[in-house]
Structure 1
Amino acid sequence: MFHNSSFWNSLIVKLFLSICFILVPLIVILIINSFYSVDVIRNQVAQSNKKMLNLHKNEIEKQLKSIGDFVYQLSNQADLLLLQENKDTEYNDYVEAKLRLYRLISNQANFSHPVDSLFIHAPYYDDMIYTQKFGNSYTERLEISNEIKQLLNKESGRIPNGKWKLWQGKHKNYLLYIIQNEDISVGAWIHVDKLITPFKHINYGELGRTILTTSDFSPINHTKFLQTEGIKLEDKLHPYLIKGKNDRFIVLSEPSSYADFNIVALIPEQVILQELPFIQRISIYISIGSILLLILFVVLMRNIILTPVLQIVRAMKKLRKGDLKVRLPKTKSSTEFEMMNDSFNRMISDIHHLKIDGYEQKINLQKSELKHLQLQINPHFFLNSLNIIYNLATLKDFALIQQMSQSLSNYFRFMFKSNSYFVGLEDEMKHTLNYLKIQELRFPHAFTYHVDIHPKWYRVKVPPLIIQSLVENTIKYGLNLDDSIKIMIKVWQREPEDDYIIIQISDTGEGFSDEVLSLLNKDKSYITEDGDRVGIWNIRRRLELLYEKNKASIDFENQIGATITIKLPLNPRDLDSVKNHMKNTMQD
């Protein structure tokens, strides 16, 4: 039962008052600061940013000049003669020249950061040699290269020789540089976005932009932003102020001396105001005041919120690790936390009881299922065995009757004697051999068998009836009364350090049909209406219940005949028994 608390003890009231205590002084400080705000010297900020703009522009032009110089050197390469229209040029010479030129431009492209591609166009061979530092896919690269080929084929005379030119592709804008050598075109192209990459490091604020324009100040990029803000750029090289939809902007521009474009910077006025010394000092004072108020806020909130929350968090961490005995202490706190603590403790108690009941029910169900799976008996096998005894009694073959009865007695004694989920491999093999003796009496001369098991594996624990069930499956579906088959049982370990063993049952019969083999290897059930092949499903289900996930497996394949391979993990006790057997064998 919760005690009645006053209105002021409510968590909501405490949080509201605490936030007001923090926010009201901050708002008062900001209002006072707004009254002391003055006009700023925009020209000083504009000049500083113009110097920065000019610095980056010079760096771009330096790179453009370097690329242009290389293209000029490339246009004088002797190998270009082999790409020109000349019927005396052999094709092998053309290919070798092409490879040398490709290596040359590829090596240079690796050192030319902004360039998208260096290219050589040979119209006589309708060939385009180019580097591939552009495009997100082969299709995009091929589309762009084809666009440039068409441009060179149709308008090669209109393209300025040895000068960077803005070129608008179907999807993107590029800066193009071409030098003509006879009918060969040598050049480079750069995506315009790469030109303004260095300007992204300049902080112009959220609304600030670096824009590339043509020589007449027509924007190439950020056109949608300019339309949204309602800004039209003017042909002015000196800084000027322009009003946009969301803010006023300082406009700075720098023309390029190597190409027909301008670099224009739009700096929001609010960014300039924030950078003034007076505002910086006020910001420092506000920051210091905020830190002090934040410390005070933390101290106040520690006892009101943090301590109860940390108690809940620690309890939930223990709960995540499986500790269902964890409980929250009953301490004096806010009304909401007292309610949460009590509900948490009740919930954990309920979960604890439900989990115990669920575990017990799951264990009982698994035990029942395993017991049921182990006790599945084929009634036809039992009736056929009794029929054989009847026929032998008619023939008065008492020796065979005794042998058959003894084998059946041993068979059913093994089936019913143990409630264990595991038996020794030696006992499992004795039961399997006893089963094979019964089948030899039923089908004389119909099959032979061979067992290859080292004695060191006899003490390893395996699920009961796992081998006998698969041998029974082999006799049921692989036996052919016209031709004798051979059944092989083998147990081994692939590598001495492996922590599992391999049990393999194979025969020389016709093997699995393609349909059955496909269903078995897809872990799909293949039980007919008459209950055929229930043994394989039985084994697979018991392996799932007895071992951890993916530790045990059963696989099916056709070799000479049908082959079934089972992988069973070895527990530490099995490994110790194997080591002790090997040690005793070596001492003997």
Structure 2
Amino acid sequence: MMKKIRFVHSFRRRMVWAMTGSLFLVCMVIVGYNVYIYKSTDKIVDRTIANSLELYAQEVDFALDNTDAFLVNRCLLHDTIRKIRKPRKEMDRYLAIGEIQELFWSSIGSYSLMDGLFLYDGQDDIYISQAKRYEGTDERGLIKNSMEDIVRQFLETAASNENEWFSIQSGDDFFLIKMYEFQGVYVGSWVHVDTLLEKLKSIPADDQDYVLVQDAARRTLTAAPLADIQKESGDVLLMDGKKYKMIRQQTEYDAFSFLVLRDCQRGVRNISGIVMQAGIAFILIAGLGMGMAAVQKHLFRQPIDRLVEAMNQLRQGNFNVRLEKEAVFEELWTVSEAFDRMIKEIETLKISVYEEKLQKQNAKIMYLQEQINPHFLTNCLNMIRNLSIMGEEEKVQKAVLLLSSFMRRSLTYSTKIKLKQELEHVRDFEELQKMRYGDQFTLVSEIEEGLDSYEIPTMMIQVFVENSIKHQLDPERHLMIWVRVWCENAGRLMLQVADDGEGFLESELNCFNAKQRLTDGEGEHIGIYNVCQRLELLYGEEADILFSNRADSGAVIDICIPV
């Protein structure tokens, strides 16, 4: 008689216990691993937030420095302020006020952390302001209503020789203020606290976390009241019975700092959720383990094989391969979607590179077309011929030398040239034009010292000088042309070409400032469009060019390039 195998000693029992133990061990490993991952991720998030705050604080410091420099260099116009305080005639005061308003209006959009500008004269009850945004809160009115408090706080800080940014509250709104005083007139700028917090919304903080701005006394600059703070110890803050981890970043200015409060109890909730998920996973794995083993080839092996095959085809140059909707699981579907998107982006990148190459070639062609101007060359040769007929040998020699020097520089294939060489090129062009037009125009150059070695795009100044002579020269009046070059503190080279002619038409200004080609009765303005294209190709968004008209008469071209 065969001995009956008892379950307690059977292989099946031992397999069940082995599988159960293995699953339990796997679940514990999963729990421990997830706890470790959570803690590591939490530390990474803390470092990410701290790094983000540090980078943003540097960005804020830079932007506020620019605002400060604007107030000092552009707003403290002593003559204008004197006209406001002690005008010779009342009309001088109105004109000075208009000049300040125009300066505020034209400049406020160029600074990221400048929500408003103001000028205040308490003695004559003069208040001028300009806000960047008009919807929502009436910031101009709030600043005006709080002007006495602003002046008082400014005088308190000035008394201690600390002309720094300071915070004020007006109603439910908080602002940072920076101002200067000259002869009883206060000029300043404000930044709404919400503007500072706008970019911090992208910081990876939980819904239970707080992103705040605090002043030098650690007071929170927000109208929404926070819960009572019971205790603050080290980097941990106890508020309303909850613990919060503090991540603080001080800015260059003592007037304010950034603070992120992260809920410390989040970890306990997440770990409890991980344990519960592990228990559910244990039950599901125990019940479905055998079934999943039978279908794993269909669910995993085949999608992976298809992915490997697609990658091999991609390596061979086949950009038409796709894995759309070939995966069953979300993870593999995400990989397939990312793979398909990567191929599309590679195709788009190839097209963009090709188009950029064509654009550079077209710009070079237009550049060469502008250099060899048949009309200009013909006029010069006719002038030399006439001088030769008249027996003006010295002038003929001078004209030939100037023309050869001009053409030699014009036919250079270099995309950039030193400022000194460009000015020499402009002077050659000026001499050639004076031999033709005589004293009908005057070119005045104002160049800041120490800029001769700075590089600028080739023929950039000459194009606009030629444009002024070509379109603005009138035999009945003398034409003045100014070329100014200086360097700003922010490391940007500023170039300005202006004249006192009739200026640009409105349609021309709109076309030029939109970087579009302009074709009129005098032909196509290749040179101006050429300069705009080369600036974009050489510097991208770091360069800027602005076309405008002078207040009385004449055209103005302002160019800003990095150095």
Q: Structure 1 length normalisation: TM-score? A: 0.39
If the length of structure 2 is used for normalisation, what is the TM-score?
Answer: 0.40
Larger radius of gyration: 1
